[in-house]
Amino acid sequence: MHIPLTSTQVAEKFDMIPIPNGAYFKPHEASNEILNSEGLPEQFSGPRPRYSSINLLIPAGVKFNFHRALSSETFEHLEGEDMALHLIDSNGRYQRILVGHHDPTAMAQYVVPPRTWFAEASISKDGYSLLRVTNEPGFHADDIVQATREELMILCHDQPNISEIIISMTLNRDH
């Protein structure tokens, strides 16, 4: 009889680094090819690898706050339960995407376009989602912006049905 691993056991098995929200990550790979500032759009603050990726473990009940990146982010489901991506585009349109293999509507991978607000969330009751997340161009902390509740509420003013999602996945602060 096969006994599935817990999220803590998976994190230990892969020597993953804890994140304050309860998730874990481990760098996977980064391109040796470096894109110089001249080869990138002006919003990038300096050179970046062509791509970089991490393995991301999201235990049951864990969620991220809405944020956006300058680069695209590809989420590829590796194992475990499906997870939800909550997306808000620059026009305030909300979309929920399942990434995984269990639900018939889930996608094995999904690309979040640059500058799209998004938040990852576990939908598992007691399992985990293990994903590979790839940024193109490669990840740099300067490229991430955390959303404020107020700016998303204003952006999505014509969709009051998503207020609860915004409230639960943003910090109550002003920039």
Residue 150 belongs to a domain with what CATH number?
2.60.120.10
Q: What is the token pair recorded at 116?
A: 């799209």
Whether residue 24 is contained in a domain is answered as yes
Report the predicted TM-score, pTM, of the whole model to 2 decimal places: 0.92
- Cα gap 91→96, rounded to integer Å: 15
Whether residue 173 is contained in a domain is answered as no
Whether residue 2 is contained in a domain is answered as no
* pLDDT for the residue numbered 175: 44
Whether residue 39 is contained in a domain is answered as no
Name the stretches of the chain with pLDDT < 70. Answer: 1-2, 172-175
Parent domain of 14: 7-32+48-168
Structural domain count, the chain: 1
CA atoms in the 13 A half-sphere facing the CB of 74: 13
* pLDDT for the residue numbered 41: 84
The beta strands (E) that lie in the chain are given as 17-18, 24-30, 34-35, 48-49, 52-59, 67-69, 72-80, 83-88, 94-99, 109-112, 117-122, 128-136, 144-146
- Cα gap 15→50, rounded to integer Å: 25
Q: What confidence tens digit (pLDDT) does each residue in 22-56 have?
A: 999 999 999 999 999 888 888 888 999 999 999 99
